[in-house]
Chains A and B, each alone.
Chain A
Amino acid sequence: MPTRMKKHRVLWAAILLAAIVAAACSGSDDRPSQPATIATDSAGQEATTQEAADLEPDQDAGPFPLTVTDSSGADVIFEAAPERIISYSAGSTEILYAVGAQDQIIAVDRFSDFPAATADLAKLEYSSPDPEAALDLRPDLVIMVTRQEEQVAQYRDLGMRVFFLREADSLEGVIESIMEIGAITGHPSEAETLVHDLRARIDAVAAALADATEGPRVFFEVTADLYTAAPATFIGAMLSLLKAHNIAAGAETAFPQLGAEAVVAADPEVILLSDARHGESLATVRDRPGWSGISAVVNERVHPINPDIVNRPGPRIVEGLETMAMLLYPDRFGGE
């Protein structure tokens, strides 16, 4: 008996030791010379002082305290501008940068790759992110989007302040998101300036198309196996705004898969390839069996388009709108 007890004790001691060693190792990853806790603390202080310096004096930190109802229906309270923000989507990250909140961000999801400065930020998971990794960064604001909806309660239960943003599916929705993110980060006036500019650009596109009656038939290719965007998507909404005829109209789902026959039969006048970075081009489209006679191919109106400027509910969406307008109406928007 006693020997067995002893054996157990040794085992427990071994496990404990292993755990301590493991903890020490992971802690020493960033700062090998200092204990883990102190390292994080000093990092936090650094960040705080830096922000204090960056805050513009004329910007009286916005109208704080502030209470904003988010898309989950929760009232999120802000006593002051958040200074340690985690952004869990590329769209929110782009908005944060555009309203001038970039120095308040401490981490982003791994799909946030614009602007280039995001490369220096800590990267977190996008789908099913780990709350532990977030908590460890001691954020004072976590911006979550539709994909993380199920985890909002979990994060709140852990004491994190979460602002849930149901991702916009229209230009107006993006503008709202910009205003909201501007307000809660203490940059309402920048947000307003940005929104003013975006609206002017959207209006300019609309004005140029005011007398257009029927736009071209468009096939928006998401992937080479013919997934496309139906009208009930961001892309679809922009195509309607541009008075284009989306050949996926009438499909049941948001991103339906079409058959080659459906595309050839619809004879699109313009094909937009958001899969150009996967090697698709006018040449590969022309080589597809039966596609060489499609109007868009014959007239060489098969164009690559950067999916990030038409998919992400962020300020660049207006750039996406302008790009599409230019590709659909080269005569109205000054050539291709």
Chain B
Amino acid sequence: MPSGTPRGSQRPNLLRRDRRRWTTLLSVALLFAVVGLGLTQGAAEIPVGTVLRLFVDRLPGISIDINGPSTWETIVFDIRVPRVVAAGLVGAALAYAGAGYQGVFRNPLAGPFLLGVASGAALGASIAIVSPLPSGAYGLGWVPVFAFVGAAITVVIVYLLARSGSAVDNTTLILGGVALAAIFSAVTSFLLLTGGEDTRPIFSFLFGGFNTASWQRVLVALPYLVVGAVIVAAYARVLNVLQLDEEQAAQLGVDVTRTKLIVLGAASLIAATAVAVAGVIGFVGLIIPHVVRMFFGTDYRSVLPLAAVLGAAFLIGTDVLARTVLAPQEVPVGIVTAIAGGPFFLYLLKTRRVAGMS
């Protein structure tokens, strides 16, 4: 197995490793901080101390007095905890899948929705919403199932389009994804326009959100996310080699087509699951991998896990904004990710170079 670790002289490498350790610790600390925010902020004004006491009370063998209504316990454990977990998982999934896509395409514009996952999922969800099927907003209703199937079908079509013989052409793959996305978005718009009075859930889906997050949905999604993540992780080294050049990688013994097929397939599985859970949330999958490479270099063995950590932190944080800025009203989180994340990303873009992209 060829190693993709960038080799330099000993001293700067050590320094860099030291700095990397700190930034890694900082990212994890950031994740913990936003989880704390996510559990203590919300439409219901529960004092931070009470939230803490509620958690302590749950520890085995400890029982303390909670001076507050019993609904607070419900709110914290049945609503906020699953919501934070769902936002964290989806954020991690989107950023992770985005890193996988960018690794395969070596293109800074690549994101988890490049092959049409989002528009396929949106069309599937819209069909479920305008159909007379029951909505099942909280559990595993038809909407996430249709969304997942729509996303999967889209990726398969794009794949079949781009395959010629044993090779898969990047340009055809991307153009196929873009074209299919355009077609499916048009059909979704048509459904939105003609669907009558009950098309609001389509809007919700198009901007994503966690206002009806539940354990049930998280638990159903988890196996797909884990399988996808493990597969992509197994190819982290190969992705490093792939960064050189497809031809060179092939000379080094990498089966380029197979790698592309497997990594993109697994990343799409992750992205499709994320979209099925929370709707289309843009921006996370595109910018988080860039941010990670800016700070941590281009080794995919660390880019992938760090993208997951920062993606989770970013989406939990933006979801806190989504549910508090206009409380009790919700703002679709996809709008917040773009408004809050966009300027920050532009700032980074201006002050640092986009790392690791040819």
Contact = CB atoms under 8 A, between A and B. Distances in A.
B197 A111 contact: yes
Given A223-B200, A265-B44, A293 B70 contact: yes
B62 interface: no
A251 B43 contact: no
Contacts of A279: 133-136
Given A222-B200, A224-B201, A251-B328, A264 B79 contact: yes
Contacts of B204: 223, 225, 227, 257
Interface stretch (A195-203, A205-213, A283-291): A283-291
A284 B140 CA distance: 12
Tell me the dominant secondary structure on chain A's binding face. Answer: loop
A258 B330 contact: yes
Looking at B80, B83, B211, the one whose CB has the most chain A CB atoms below 10 A away is: B211
Nearest to A285: B138
Nearest to B81: A289
A29 B132 CA distance: 31
Nearest to A294: B71
B44 A288 contact: no
A290 B198 contact: no
Contacts of A4: none
Looking at B42, B44, B71, B82, the one whose CB has the most chain A CB atoms below 10 A away is: B71
Contact of B200 (A248, A255, A259, A290): A255
Nearest to A279: B134
Interface in B5-51: 42-44
Interface string B188-228: 00000110111011001000010111111000000000000
Interface in A219-277: 222-227, 247-248, 250-253, 255-262, 264-267, 275
Looking at A255, A293, A307, the one whose CB has the most chain B CB atoms below 10 A away is: A293
Contacts of A256: 326, 328-330
Given A257-B329, A258-B329, A265 B75 contact: yes
B80 A224 contact: no
A127 interface: yes
Interface residues of B, number: 42
A127 to B, nearest CB: 6
B201 A262 contact: no
A262 B74 CA distance: 12
Contacts of B193: 127-128
A264 B211 contact: no
Contacts of A226: 137, 211-212, 330
Contact of B201 (A127, A223, A260): A223
A253 B134 contact: no
B135 A261 contact: no
A103 interface: no
Contacts of B106: none
Contact of B329 (A128, A253, A265, A289): A253
Nearest to A311: B197
Contacts of A278: 132, 134-135, 198
A124 to B, nearest CB: 13
Interface string A302-327: 00000100010000000000000000
Nearest to A250: B328
Interface in B305-342: 323, 326-330, 332
Interface string B53-91: 000000000000000001100110011101100000000
Contacts of B197: 111, 307, 311
Contacts of B137: 223-226, 288
Nearest to B78: A290
B68 to A, nearest CB: 11
A190 interface: no
B108 interface: no
A228 to B, nearest CB: 9
A259 B43 CA distance: 8
Interface size class of A (residues with CB under 8 A): 35 or more
A232 to B, nearest CB: 13
Nearest to A308: B197
Nearest to B135: A224
A280 interface: yes
B297 interface: no
Contacts of A252: 326, 329
B139 interface: yes
Given A222-B200, A251-B329, A259 B134 contact: no
A153 B118 CA distance: 39
B44 A289 contact: no
B43 A262 contact: yes
Looking at A225, A278, A293, the one whose CB has the most chain B CB atoms below 10 A away is: A225
B329 A225 contact: no
B79 A248 contact: no
Contacts of A258: 43, 211, 328-330
Looking at B83, B139, B328, B329, the one whose CB has the most chain A CB atoms below 10 A away is: B328
A259 B71 contact: no
B208 to A, nearest CB: 11
Given A224-B201, A278-B198, A262 B44 contact: yes
B211 A259 contact: yes
A223 B198 contact: yes
B71 A264 contact: yes
A227 B216 CA distance: 21
A251 B326 contact: yes
B203 to A, nearest CB: 9
B172 to A, nearest CB: 35
A314 B83 CA distance: 41
A275 B133 CA distance: 12
Contact of B138 (A111, A266, A289): A289
Contacts of A290: 74-75, 78-79
Interface in A81-137: 111, 127-128
Given A262-B328, A275-B135, A279-B134, A293 B201 contact: no
13 contacts: A222-B200, A224-B136, A224-B201, A225-B201, A247-B328, A252-B326, A255-B200, A261-B79, A262-B329, A264-B74, A265-B328, A278-B135, A289-B79
Interface of A: 111, 127-128, 222-227, 247-248, 250-253, 255-262, 264-267, 275, 278-280, 284, 287-290, 293, 307, 311
Given A224-B135, A258-B329, A266-B328, 6 more contacts: A226-B330, A259-B79, A259-B211, A261-B75, A262-B327, A289-B78
